[in-house]
Structure 1
């Protein structure tokens, strides 16, 4: 396997500007276009030079450079500004010169944004490559003399340690990306059931106790089962349970309606009720859950 220090494609993928320019010049050689580049203020500035104006036609050249860069997928590089001009003598400070007078220095310039590759797929690819390298023995090709053998032995003893650390790092990144993906997927469901799931056991106990007839002097309801607080909690529990399995827009709309019904009922709890302060809080909470379910219905397929 080619040593990474000599692998231009791998270095370009890691974000090496020198390696990126080498690959660009190789692929643009048939077009007689030469490139130079500088990474400045988060933007990869590329200068394209050719002897003739027709060799620097904007649309095809920009498209070709974008395809090359996206196939390389350089790390930490997303914004690219492509500048073009007729070839001149080598200039070390070319970016400063063209920035000072772009209208007279350039034929044209255009900024592009590279499409970001799928992070999970990229991590899997990097991890696979690291494992493949880790599994291959590293023997010196020749043994010219004893001192050289000793030097190579120390080199090859240290190299596996570096690869093990790299593989461990990639494993950590892969695990982290999976956790983030899983959390984003369940974000809404966790939003809809934060406190309801915690109080489910308590509310069920209260429901059973409420079945024992009791009447408050100032309560306008004829029987305990008509208590708006308890009815609202039962509807909220139903909405929470439905939210765990909902997948379609219609199901989410039904859940939103249940949360809204629970909020409306909770808002009717009289001030004389023993849990009036809690009812005020739940009224707003259930309303937010209803709004969240309505938003989810817009994302889901009907």
Structure 2
């Protein structure tokens, strides 16, 4: 499991200004440029400083910062204002100072806009991160394992730690569900009006490749109810993998059907199951993924 506390790239992606500046300084070190930043009024204000004017040539500096920030794709940050000046002593109120007299304080200033990441790819990435926190799809056939629980019979004293890790995993999934809903907003409501019969007809006539994994999952309905959780996760993993390469409308319809199937299976997990509460969360999460994939299918048709 990745230690998120020490994962600077992940913190930068979540919107941490300190982590963003650390990555910028690492990548700009060869050019002799150092950066500082403040998030103010919805804009990330970046100050670039160097010992000479040549090191702060506007076009290459702006292009390199744009490329770095687009690769980071920080959450909730779209507008970035890049300022530059010859290096000075540390000033805690540097933004207030340059705002008071920009013509004399700065060499140049330029605002850029970061690329909006594809929402489907972002959903898949979030789902993959959630899977990493809750345990991957290597479920045993006879007994479903608990998320993030490391079996160690020789050290029974670790039991409290195992419970804490399991709780953290469930909290991560709850947070992910909230983020998905906040990102999609009203679009999710409009997607619920999608014609189910039309999508199923198009799926059956255009692409038969999905029939094999889905048929095998349906056949497993006769298996004991304790297996429904593992089956649903396997189907969800198939949908997640397919979403990374899908481009055509028929492919997105196939992915939407897989997510819906996984959601339906999760809803059949009984209360006595050891992961019943997690199954309830995944039922709603998989349903949202299915609706998002249906929206992508409509977009591909137009």
Q: Secondary structure at the match of 1:64?
A: helix
- Residue in structure 2 matching 1:180, options 159, 171, 187: 187
Larger radius of gyration: 1
CA distance in 2, matches of 1:67, 1:77: 14
- 2:42 matched residue in structure 1: 42
Identify the residue that residue 243 of structure 1 maps to in structure 2: none
Q: Is 2:83–2:108's contact at 8 Å kept on the other side of the alignment?
A: yes
Matches within 5 A, 1:52-91: 52-91=52-91
In the TM superposition, what whole-angstrom CA distance separates every residue of 1:25-54 from its partner, at most 9, and x where no partner exists? 000011110000000010000000000100
What CA distance in whole angstroms lies between the structure 2 residues aligned with 1:183 and 1:163? 31
What is the DSSP-based 3-state SS (H/G/I as helix, E as strand, rest coil) of the residue aligned with 2:66?
helix
Task: Summarize the Cα distance change of 1:138–1:102 in structure 2 as closer, same or farther, 3 Å threshold.
Answer: farther
Q: How does 1:235-250 map to 2 (within 5 A)?
A: none
> SS of 1:83's equivalent?
strand
Alpha-carbon separation, structure 1, partners of 2:87 and 2:178: 47
The equivalent residue for 1:4 is 4
- 1:157 counterpart residue number: 163
User: 1:133 Cα shift?
Assistant: 2.1
Q: Given the two structures, how large is their TM-score scaled by the length of structure 2?
A: 0.54
Write out per-residue CA displacement over residues 110-136 of structure 1, whole angstroms, 9 at most, x where no aligned residue: 011111101221021111111122116
Q: Which whole-Å CA distance do the structure 2 matches of 1:153 and 1:58 have between them?
A: 57
Distance 1:18 1:173 in 2: 22
Greater RCO between the two (CA within 8 Å, min separation 6)?
A: 2
**Alignment correspondent of 1:192:** none
1:188-241 CA-to-partner distances (Å, cap 9, x unmatched) read x9xxxxxxxxxxxxxxxxxxxxxxxxxxxxxxxxxxxxxxxxxxxxxxxxxxxx
Aligned to 1:113: 113
Bigger drift between 173-182 and 82-91 goes to 173-182
TM-score (ref. length: structure 1): 0.54
SS of the counterpart of 2:99? helix
Helix, strand or coil for the counterpart of 2:60? Answer: helix
8 Å contact 2:133–2:172 — kept in the other structure? no
Instruction: Indicate conservation of the 8 Å contact 1:13/1:74, yes or no.
Output: yes
SS, match of residue 45 in structure 1: strand
Match of 2:172 among 134, 141, 166: 166
Please state whether the residue corresponding to 1:62 is helix, strand or coil. Answer: helix
> Structure 2, unaligned stretches of length 5 or more?
137-147, 196-300
Q: Distance in 1 between matches of 2:159 and 2:99?
A: 51
Q: Kindly tell me: are residues 153 and 31 of structure 1, through their superposed partners in 2, closer, same or farther at Cα, counting changes over 3 Å?
A: farther
Aligned mates of 2:38, 2:181 — CA distance in 1 = 34
Count of residue pairs brought into register by the alignment: 184
Unmatched 5+ stretches in structure 1: 190-299
Q: Deviation of residue 184 (structure 1)? A: 6.2
Look up the SS of the partner of 2:77 in the other structure.
coil
Residue deviations 1:238-280 (CA, integer Å, cap 9, x gap): xxxxxxxxxxxxxxxxxxxxxxxxxxxxxxxxxxxxxxxxxxx
Give deviations 1:42-86, integer Å, cap 9, x for gaps. Answer: 000000000010000001110110110010000000000000000
> Which whole-Å CA distance do the structure 2 matches of 1:140 and 1:79 have between them?
47
Please, what is the CA RMSD of the aligned residues? 3.3
Query: How far apart in 2 are the matches of 1:107 and 1:73?
Result: 27
Q: Find the aligned partners of 1:178 and 1:128 in 2 and give their Cα distance.
A: 21
